[in-house]
Chains A and B, each alone.
Chain A
Amino acid sequence: MNSNDITHTLSTYVTTQILKQPKRILKGDEPLISSGLIDSFHLVDLGLFIEDKFGVRIEDSELNADTFDTLDQLVVLIQSRQ
């Protein structure tokens, strides 16, 4: 998968499953965690989704804004671990 696909998959997941706003468009540099958009519970969900979908494990200690805060950063992280 190229980074655009990954971005799209993630974005769709976040907007439909977490934010429950399917029509919303997430910007690549929009802060997701530090803004409170994705709370700790949904962050775990996101981690599980990424594990399922991309086979990439994000550790419990990494589920925070220091590791990734935006879609772009998350994509880079996933790609680095595939």
Chain B
Amino acid sequence: MGQARSSDEVTVIVSVFAMLPTAAPTASHRFAALLHVVHVAAALLSSVRHAALFVTSVLAVYLLQPATPIAHLDFWLPSASLLLVVVVWCATQPLRLEAMRETLVTAGLIAGLVLGIGALGITTQLCCVVTRMPPPNILVVAAAVAGGVLTCILVAIVFAGHPARTTWLVFALIALLVAVKLNWPISGADAPQAETASPAPPTFATIQWLGFSYIAFRLIHALRERALGKLPVMSLREFMTYVVFFPAIIAGPIDRVERFLKDLRAPFIFNMSDLVEGGRRLLIGVFKKFVIADALAIIALNDALAVQTQPGLWAWVLLYAYAFRIFFDFSGYTDMAIGLGRLFGIKLPENFNRPYLKPNLTQFWNSWHMTLAQWFRTYYFNPLTRALRMRNIAPPLIIFVTQTTTMLLIGLWHGLTWNFALWGVWHALGLFMHSRWSEFARARFGAQDASKLQWVTHLGGVVLTFHFVAFGWVWFALSNVETSLTFFRRLFGMP
């Protein structure tokens, strides 16, 4: 019933527009033919939705990968992403003969796309249509694809029926994450150089692997679910679409595979409701990111401004600007992702829930980058807390250890620098202080429902929490400890 209504709506809209140029009555059967075509097209598009999403997402991994200083890495990194997805799929899915044909078709498609992108390198006009720089030699690519296939077969054999072995892959992914986030010295040959005679000192940079932080976390999620025996059975095509789903590649959200599959497997037809909701969300995201956030970026705190600014008022302006800039930037990206997903009937989870209006830090962390916080709770905080609770350790100590390590890891997930670590620890301390204060306040003041005072404490909490988070952003926004300390001095009027 719902489906029929949706397609009727499409019909109505299209027919209204079609009617405008063809007002003549003799157009009536051209009209009917047009409506029929539209019906068929909508139905067709809906049935190929999955295939379309799959292919687009695989290509998007290459298209969105930024150029790298090291040659060919902008081809190999996306290829490695795809390989990791297939490997994890092979390691977590039971061997099913009835699915073999579909798996081979999908694998062939992936291999074909990879080889195709590599083959573009042979031409001169098309070479950089997908990747930024020319891809490596096609023979090398072919060898790599072959190697990848063999790896996956091997993995499938080793891991079939042994869910506990997936832990090794989890460790491998974590190690890979660490490696990606480390600052590697770029040798002189690869770094962009000035034309001075003296050799440039080695510059350091992290490997710019598009979306890898998110991909790794989705893969670890799948591996952990498999170890717990809770991973649904799915095709390679479904899993690949989930991990590299193109709206969520750049900045998440981190969806859960079961929820994603539910939407993906549901019968879908293009309808006005999804189009309108998705379109609206997408537009809001575009506005937040490209208008508000990019304008705020001009007045927001950064390394240069932190040391250049006069002490006092202007430092606070820079700080507030950053706090709002990062919110609009990140939530804008999330809105775009959710909007795009919605256009195709995938309802991605929310990542933000008015974080700056929360009266305490605990609730802030329930409303900022929600999917990441949830991931860490599910796979680190909760299991660790359970384990520690079994032993006879005082709860405050457990809270301190678990919260601090969790926030530290969340900080380091953003980058392996002292500043990100300190940002994490800052929030951990705040959370711990809030939890102690909460316990104290509840015991001391009881459940006072004095509504007069409540809005005052609420407002005070919001202001306090916002400023605590804002100070935390100083660590997050700047790249080294010295600059951060300098800026803190500037905030309080000292040079």
A residues whose Cβ falls under 8 Å from a Cβ of B: 19-21, 23-24, 33-36, 39-41, 43-45, 47-48, 59-61, 63-65
Contacts of B442 in A (CB 8 A): 19-21
- Across the interface, name the chain B residue whose C-beta is closest to A43: B382
Residue from B225, B366, B403, B447 within 8 A of A36 (CB atoms): B366
Q: Does residue B486 face the partner (Cβ distance < 8 Å to A)?
A: no
Cα of A63 to Cα of B383 in the assembled complex, Å: 11
Most B CB within 10 A of own CB, among A23, A36, A59: A36
Chain B: residues with Cβ within 8 Å of the partner, total of 31
Contacts of B230 in A (CB 8 A): 59
Interface pair B386/A44, CB less than 8 Å apart: yes
Beyond A21-B447, A43-B382, A64-B377, 4 additional contacts (C-beta under 8 Å) are: A39-B438, A41-B398, A60-B378, A60-B386
In the complex, the 4 A-B pairs of residues with the closest C-beta atoms, listed nearest first: A60-B382, A36-B363, A44-B385, A61-B378
> Chain A contact residues: over half helix, strand or loop, or mixed?
loop
Q: A60-B379, A64-B374, A65-B366 are in contact. Are A39 and B435 (CB under 8 A)?
A: yes
Interface pair B383/A20, CB less than 8 Å apart: no
Interface pair A60/B377, CB less than 8 Å apart: yes
**What would be 5 A-B contacts, judged by CB atoms less than 8 Å apart?**
A21-B447, A45-B389, A47-B386, A60-B378, A61-B225
Which B378-430 residues sit within 8 Å CB-CB of chain A?
378-379, 381-383, 385-386, 389, 395, 398-399, 402-403
Residue from A21, A44, A45 within 8 A of B446 (CB atoms): A21
Contacts of A35 in B (CB 8 A): 363
The number of A-B residue pairs with CB atoms under 8 Å apart is 63
Cα of A64 to Cα of B446 in the assembled complex, Å: 25
- Across the interface, name the chain B residue whose C-beta is closest to A61: B378
- Across the interface, name the chain B residue whose C-beta is closest to A64: B374
The smallest C-beta distance from B41 to any residue of chain A, in angstroms, reads 36
Interface pair B256/A36, CB less than 8 Å apart: no
Interface pair A24/B447, CB less than 8 Å apart: yes
Interface pair B366/A41, CB less than 8 Å apart: no
Interface pair A63/B446, CB less than 8 Å apart: no
The smallest C-beta distance from A19 to any residue of chain B, in angstroms, reads 6
Contacts of B360 in A (CB 8 A): 36
The smallest C-beta distance from A71 to any residue of chain B, in angstroms, reads 16
Cα of A40 to Cα of B256 in the assembled complex, Å: 19
- Across the interface, name the chain B residue whose C-beta is closest to A48: B389
Which B354-372 residues sit within 8 Å CB-CB of chain A?
358, 360, 362-363, 366
Contacts of A39 in B (CB 8 A): 362, 435, 438
- Across the interface, name the chain B residue whose C-beta is closest to A60: B382
- Across the interface, name the chain A residue whose C-beta is closest to B396: A41
Interface pair A20/B439, CB less than 8 Å apart: yes
Cα of A33 to Cα of B446 in the assembled complex, Å: 19
Cα of A5 to Cα of B233 in the assembled complex, Å: 38
